[in-house]
Amino acid sequence: MKNHSTIIIGGGWAGLAAAVELSKHNIPVTVFEAAKQAGGRARTVTHNNTLLDNGQHLMIGAYHQMLSLLKTININYRDVFLQIPQQLEIIDLNRQTTVFKLKLPLLPAPINLLTGILSCPSLNLTSKLKTLYKFNKLLKTPLNKDISVEEWLNTAGLPAEYTNYLLKPLCLAALTTHPHEASARIFQTVLQQTFNGQASNTDLLIPAIDLGHVFPEAAIKYIESKGGQVFLEHRASKLNAINGKIQSIIVNDETIETTNVILATSAKSTEKLLSDIDNCMHIKQQLHNLNYEPVTTIYLQYNPQVRLPLPMMGAINGISEWIFDRSICRQPGLIAVVISANGLHMTLNNEQLSAKVATELAQQFPDWPAAESVMVIREKRATLRCIPDIDHFRPGIQTPVSNLRLCGDYVYIEENNQPGLPSTLEGAMRSGVKCAQQLIQEYL
């Protein structure tokens, strides 16, 4: 029987984050990843020799944990992201017109937001002043009870343009949950962390290469350089617990002894792996009650001359929500359209959906030629549905099994008494690092 002292099951961004943190402290780890490549829900997929992501992702400057881990593994974030100060342009697909523009200057917060709002061409002077006062109040007033984002925004007294064209699309993008269902407390935290911190927090970080090369590939090299091992196509099928401790795990039919296990699988896989462990009843119940939201990405290949006016644009009153120009990934003419959460698009098959999105783009950009090819990627369980009070239903890092910890974007991590983060790469990585730090304390 083999023995691997510290085992991480799952090589998504949470598991790799935990592995990098442990490796940084010279604790060698063994990562078992079931898939052919690492990265989990933020992985590279190949289509017709083109490297795509299994879903177009967007990061922001407030992803401090992600940026810090990139530094640890010797990745200069400027080599892997296009960093642009927050510049949002929202188009109305019904009226084929731009309805909202906001550009934040490179100034310290909150002056950047103040200046951005004052120079926003989509708001008149009264609306600008109202926005400044009411938005600041909205961010600062603690929410004693969690309610839906829609309810919260309805009582805020903000101008309708600011609410409908900016905050509601941001809620859907950040929480992958429609505003009438989304948690106001979590959205408030996201807005605070974005707009109240350092100016660079609001920067958009758009991957400039495929996701596998943003973090997972370099993370694996780093882990291996510190004596760790990452095994792909190695699926864990059972955790053997004796006397309240995991003694061994079964991976690809082989039994492997272990001292500590970090379970960095998705919530659904975690629920399955915990099924045989009696004293994890409460966690299994929590996991069972979680709900998920899909994210759909439609990649449309146009003539290489085709460009969006901006690297990324928002859209309302149509099926398409966010449109990205992949020429920033050296993929000229490739446009990615992202649709978050459930909606009408889920009732359409891939052909119908592609046709609908292509028509919306053709109406908005009449100069573009027809798309040459289209690919649809649907991730049914892309993120947790981030409903009010969801943190009560999220397990924490420590389980009742002393040498078994959890990390992942569904895990609740306690930070300054604030609500947890939505299911994002930053949330996943923070949980991975926190989990590793708990273990490091134990090893000291």
Ligand X SMILES: Cc1cc2nc3c(=O)[nH]c(=O)nc-3n(C[C@H](O)[C@H](O)[C@H](O)COP(=O)(O)OP(=O)(O)OC[C@H]3O[C@@H](n4cnc5c(N)ncnc54)[C@H](O)[C@@H]3O)c2cc1C
Q: C-beta of 173: minimal distance to ligand X in Å? A: 7
CB 177 within 8 A of CB 424: no
Among 428, 435, 436, 439, binds ligand X (CB under 6 A): 428
Phi, psi of 428 (to 5 degrees): -60, -45
C-alpha–C-alpha distance, residues 142 and 49, integer Å: 50
Using CB under 6 A as the binding rule, whether residue 320 contacts ligand X is answered as no
Q: C-beta of 444: minimal distance to ligand X in Å? A: 26
Using CB under 6 A as the binding rule, whether residue 34 contacts ligand X is answered as yes
Name which of 158 and 384 has its Cβ closer to ligand X.
384
Among 4, 6, 8, 9, binds ligand X (CB under 6 A): 9
Using CB under 6 A as the binding rule, whether residue 295 contacts ligand X is answered as yes
C-alpha–C-alpha distance, residues 231 and 439, integer Å: 21
Among 7, 21, 27, 40, binds ligand X (CB under 6 A): 40
DSSP character string of 140-175: HS--SS--BHHHHHHTTT--HHIIIIIIHHHHHHHH
Give the chain's end-to-end CA distance (angstroms, integer): 27
Smallest CA-to-CA distance from 57 within 90, 19, 12, 89 is with 12
The dihedral formed by the CA atoms of 37, 255, 15 and 428, expressed in degrees to the nearest 10? 110
Q: Within 13 A of 103's CA, how many CA atoms are on the CB side?
A: 7
Using CB under 6 A as the binding rule, whether residue 379 contacts ligand X is answered as yes
Q: C-beta of 126: minimal distance to ligand X in Å? A: 34
Using CB under 6 A as the binding rule, whether residue 15 contacts ligand X is answered as yes
Using CB under 6 A as the binding rule, whether residue 14 contacts ligand X is answered as yes
C-alpha–C-alpha distance, residues 93 and 150, integer Å: 22
C-alpha–C-alpha distance, residues 10 and 34, integer Å: 7
Q: Point out which span in 40-48, 119-127, 345-353, 357-365 binds ligand X (CB under 6 A).
A: 40-48
Using CB under 6 A as the binding rule, whether residue 408 contacts ligand X is answered as yes
Among 19, 32, 116, 202, binds ligand X (CB under 6 A): 32
Using CB under 6 A as the binding rule, whether residue 100 contacts ligand X is answered as no
Among 70, 424, 435, 436, binds ligand X (CB under 6 A): 424
**Under rule CB under 6 A, which residues in 147-166 are in contact with ligand X?**
none
Among 21, 23, 41, 166, binds ligand X (CB under 6 A): 41
Q: Is 343 left (phi over 0), alpha (psi -120 to 50) or beta?
A: left
Using CB under 6 A as the binding rule, whether residue 266 contacts ligand X is answered as yes
Among 19, 27, 42, 386, binds ligand X (CB under 6 A): 42
Place of tokens 């890092």: 397
C-alpha–C-alpha distance, residues 234 and 165, integer Å: 45
Interacting residues toward ligand X by CB under 6 A: 9-15, 32-35, 40-42, 55, 57-59, 235-236, 264-266, 269, 273, 295, 297, 379, 382-383, 408-409, 423-426, 428
